[in-house]
């Protein structure tokens, strides 16, 4: 099915949405000014020692005060879209509408108006991990009442920005929120309950997503005509041995636990994948529990969740190799529930973050898997990119290589496999606060000098490269190759 040739030449459709991404906590700074309330990331990072160098997002790229500079970079790259997120606690400092902070609304209005003035499509994430701390005080996503509270926030944003914003994503990476936030407990709110909290939280996230989708449908779609989705994340999972059926099944199971957890309910039938129901159900029974740790949806809830995304949004960075194992029964854990062990794709280049190898071919396979699994949806790649360490400044050839090879695999998926890829959003516009990695690595097309209070931004080699890819709309066949192949395209 997949050709061996390294590069494919051709271009994307004229409407292809090239863009770059950011998120509020990673770039804005201004953590407590103009009325902004604290988020769970403010609380976490301000405790010394939680992040390398005790780094935090108090100032970050200072984008709250440097809107003009961000817009300048976006215009220089000639991107067609900009994906950013709204800081909930900048708009509602304590999470509730009653605490409305007009200055926060003004900031996003300025950003959106300027983007439109420069013909850049805003792609807005409603929640990129920075929950208002006040809502964590009532247990955050592990409390079902947050479904209505989040809906109220979304409703306000649709009403306020929706006359200009036509591309909405409810959550960035619900998998990360549920598993890293409530299972491993690595990221805020740092809850370490790997056996059941992730499943409960995911259940609430799915309901909250669906509720916001229906709010848009009922109150705004007709007049605003936008679309609503959710940005899921997945590594590509390659079986350790494609000739051993058990291993092929194991790789598919890994994808179901990662992406199917959310995509199966939303894009298929309102319910979790069979592989998850079977695995978690059996483990729970063997653990002597009276019911599965994976909660069940009622028929009404399934109908409510099914079909609540207008396009498929996927964030992707790397590929892993998995093998089947029989995991131990204790302690109870989402990880053990999968009966898998994971390894790196050792033939591919390493990057600045451990276990994040640059495996370009994995993206094409993931796109094809999504096409087959979810009935050929329109797909937007809403994050893809690579880190270099902070010593790498402008000469980021590793990033150029990454984008060249990954985007070429997207082109193969589009041109050769017929995957309906509609857009590609590179991560990220500029070096930013990279969560648990602080400022030790950068994903940016632009370097930001975090030691300078003015946070000067400077384009790297990759910025020039991405500009050219956008300008060419892909990789047109070079002239000499046309002669060689004896045809024109």
- Segment 16-45, which members bind ligand GBH (CB under 6 A)? 23, 26
Using rule CB under 6 A, residue 383 touches ligand GBH: yes
What minimum distance in Å lies between the beta carbon of 44 and ligand GBH?
10
Distance separating alpha carbons of residues 150 and 155, to the nearest angstrom:
8
- Please identify which residue in 161, 261, 406, 443 interacts with ligand GBH, judged by CB under 6 A: 443
Stretch that binds ligand GBH, among 7-15, 94-102, 397-405, 435-443 (CB under 6 A): 435-443
In 416-478, which ranges are continuous DSSP H helix? Answer: 461-472
Nearer to ligand GBH, 26 or 151 (CB): 26
| Paired strand residues for 447 | 458
Both tokens of residue 20? 């770059």
Counting beta carbons within 10 angstroms of the beta carbon of residue 245, is it exposed (0 to 12), middle (13 to 18) or buried (19 or more)?
Answer: exposed
Q: How many beta carbons lie within 10 A of that of residue 96, not counting itself? A: 14
Cβ neighbours for 240, distance < 8 A, ≥ 6 positions apart? 247, 250, 321, 322, 323, 343
Rg (CA), the chain: 22
Binding mask 237-276 for ligand GBH (x = CB under 6 A): ----------------------------------------
What minimum distance in Å lies between the beta carbon of 440 and ligand GBH?
11
What minimum distance in Å lies between the beta carbon of 246 and ligand GBH?
27
Nearer to ligand GBH, 50 or 269 (CB): 50
Nearer to ligand GBH, 270 or 362 (CB): 362
Both tokens of residue 168? 């909405």
- Segment 160-219, which members bind ligand GBH (CB under 6 A)? 172-173, 176, 180, 186-187
Nearer to ligand GBH, 28 or 434 (CB): 434
Counting beta carbons within 10 angstroms of the beta carbon of residue 222, is it exposed (0 to 12), middle (13 to 18) or buried (19 or more)?
Answer: exposed
Nearer to ligand GBH, 120 or 352 (CB): 352
Residues that bind ligand GBH (rule: CB under 6 A) add up to a total of 18
What minimum distance in Å lies between the beta carbon of 61 and ligand GBH?
12
Which among 475, 466, 463, 327 has a CA at the least distance from the CA of 411? 475
What minimum distance in Å lies between the beta carbon of 64 and ligand GBH?
17
Using rule CB under 6 A, residue 414 touches ligand GBH: no
What minimum distance in Å lies between the beta carbon of 383 and ligand GBH?
6
Backbone CA torsion sign across 29, 107, 467, 413 = positive
Nearer to ligand GBH, 76 or 436 (CB): 436
| Paired strand residues for 238 | 321
- Please identify which residue in 358, 363, 434, 462 interacts with ligand GBH, judged by CB under 6 A: 434
Look up residue 178 and give its DSSP letter: I
E strands in 276-400: 312-315, 319-324, 340-344, 379-383, 388-389
What minimum distance in Å lies between the beta carbon of 441 and ligand GBH?
8
What minimum distance in Å lies between the beta carbon of 480 and ligand GBH?
38
| Paired strand residues for 82 | 20, 122
Nearer to ligand GBH, 89 or 233 (CB): 233
- Please identify which residue in 420, 436, 440, 467 interacts with ligand GBH, judged by CB under 6 A: 436
Both tokens of residue 421? 């890829």
Using rule CB under 6 A, residue 233 touches ligand GBH: yes
- 375's torsion region: left (phi>0), alpha (psi -120 to 50) or beta? left
Cβ neighbours for 463, distance < 8 A, ≥ 6 positions apart? 76, 77, 445, 446
- Please identify which residue in 380, 414, 435, 445 interacts with ligand GBH, judged by CB under 6 A: 435
Stretch that binds ligand GBH, among 1-9, 29-37, 267-275, 432-440 (CB under 6 A): 432-440
Nearer to ligand GBH, 292 or 427 (CB): 427
- Residue reference for tokens 């066949």: 477
Distance separating alpha carbons of residues 73 and 307, to the nearest angstrom:
36
Nearer to ligand GBH, 105 or 234 (CB): 234
Look up residue 119 and give its DSSP letter: T
Q: How wide is the angle at C-alpha 336 spanned by C-alphas 330 and 337, nearest 5°? A: 105
- Please identify which residue in 101, 170, 427, 462 interacts with ligand GBH, judged by CB under 6 A: 427
- Segment 306-325, which members bind ligand GBH (CB under 6 A)? 315, 317
Nearer to ligand GBH, 173 or 215 (CB): 173
Nearer to ligand GBH, 105 or 370 (CB): 370
Residue 339 phi, psi dihedral angles, 5° rounding:
55, 50
Distance separating alpha carbons of residues 323 and 170, to the nearest angstrom:
33
User: Which residues bind to ligand GBH, rule: CB under 6 A?
Assistant: 23, 26, 172-173, 176, 180, 186-187, 233, 315, 317, 383, 427-428, 434-436, 443
């Amino acid at each position: 099915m997949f050709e061996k040739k390294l590069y494919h030449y051709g271009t994307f459709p004229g409407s292809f949405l090239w863009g770059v991404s950011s998120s509020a906590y990673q770039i804005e700074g201004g953590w407590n000014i103009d009325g902004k309330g604290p988020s769970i990331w403010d609380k976490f990072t301000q405790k010394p020692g939680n992040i390398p160098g005790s780094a935090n997002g108090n100032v970050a790229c200072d984008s709250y005060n440097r809107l003009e500079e961000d817009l300048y970079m976006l215009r220089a790259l000639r991107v067609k879209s900009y994906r950013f997120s709204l800081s909930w606690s900048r708009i509602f400092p304590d999470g509730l509408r009653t605490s409305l902070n007009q200055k926060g609304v003004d900031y996003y209005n300025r950003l959106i108006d300027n983007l439109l003035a420069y013909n850049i499509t805003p792609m807005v994430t409603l929640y990129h991990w920075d929950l208002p701390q006040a809502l964590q005080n009532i247990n955050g996503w592990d409390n079902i009442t947050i479904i209505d509270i989040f809906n109220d926030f979304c409703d306000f944003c649709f009403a306020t920005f929706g006359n200009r914003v036509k591309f909405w994503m409810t959550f960035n990476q619900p998998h990360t929120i549920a598993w890293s936030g409530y299972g491993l407990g690595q990221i805020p709110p740092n809850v370490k309950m790997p056996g059941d909290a992730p499943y409960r939280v995911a259940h609430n996230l799915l309901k909250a997503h669906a509720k916001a989708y229906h709010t848009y449908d009922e109150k705004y779609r007709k007049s605003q005509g936008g679309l609503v989705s959710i940005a899921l994340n997945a590594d590509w999972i390659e079986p350790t041995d494609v000739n051993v059926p058990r291993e092929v099944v194991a790789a598919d199971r890994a994808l179901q636990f990662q992406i199917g957890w959310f995509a199966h309910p939303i894009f298929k039938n309102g319910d979790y994948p069979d592989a998850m129901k079977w695995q978690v159900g059996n483990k729970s029974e063997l653990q002597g529990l009276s019911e599965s740790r994976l909660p069940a949806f009622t028929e009404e809830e399934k109908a409510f969740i099914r079909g609540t995304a207008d396009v498929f949004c996927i964030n992707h960075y790397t590929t892993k190799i998995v093998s089947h194992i029989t995991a131990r029964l204790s302690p109870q854990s989402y990880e053990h529930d999968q009966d898998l062990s994971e390894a790196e794709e050792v033939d591919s280049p390493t990057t600045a973050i451990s276990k994040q190898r640059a495996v370009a071919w994995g993206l094409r396979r993931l796109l094809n898997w999504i096409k087959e699994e979810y009935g050929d949806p329109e797909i937007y790649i809403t994050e893809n990119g690579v880190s270099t360490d902070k010593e790498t400044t402008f000469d980021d050839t590793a990033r150029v290589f990454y984008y060249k090879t990954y985007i070429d695999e997207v082109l193969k998926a589009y041109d050769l496999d017929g995957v309906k890829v509609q857009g590609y959003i590179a991560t990220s516009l500029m070096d930013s606060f990279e969560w648990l990695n602080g400022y030790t690595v950068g994903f940016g097309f632009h370097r930001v000098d975090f030691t300078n209070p003015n946070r000067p931004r400077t384009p790297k080699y990759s910025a020039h490269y991405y500009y050219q890819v956008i300008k060419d709309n892909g990789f047109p066949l070079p002239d000499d190759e046309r002669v060689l192949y004896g045809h024109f395209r």
